[in-house]
Structure 1
Amino acid sequence: MIEAQNLTKRYGDKTAVDGISFTIPPGTVTGFLGPNGAGKSTTMRMIVGLDRPTSGTVTVNGRAYAQHRSPLREVGALLDAKAVHTGRSARSHLRTMAATHGLPARRVDEVIEMTGLGAVAKKRVGGFSLGMGQRLGIASALLGDPRTLILDEPVNGLDPEGVKWVRTLVRHLAAEGRTVFLSSHLMSEMAQTADQLLVIGRGKIIAAGPVQDVIDGVQDASVHVRSPRAAELADLARSAGASVTTTEPGTFDARGVTAETIGNAAARRGIAVHELTIRRASLEEAYMNLTQDAVEYRSETTHEAMEAVR
Structure 2
Amino acid sequence: MKKEKTITVRRQKIQPDRTKKRLCFFLFLTALLLLTVVFAEQICPYDPNAQDTGAALLPPGAGHLAGTDRFGRDMLSRILVGLKTSVTSTLILVVVVTVTGSILGLICGYFGGIADTVIMRISDICLAFPGLVFAMAIAALLNGGISNAVLALALISWPKYARIARSQTLTVKNTNYMAASQLAGCTAAQMIWRHILPNIAGPILVTSMLDIGTMMMELAGLSFLGLGAQPPTAELGNMMSGGRSMLQTYPWVVIGPGFAIFTAVVIFNLLGDAMRDYLDPHNGRKQ
The normalised TM-score by structure 2 is 0.25
Greater relative CO, 1 or 2 (CA 8 Å, sep 6+): 2
More strand by share: 1
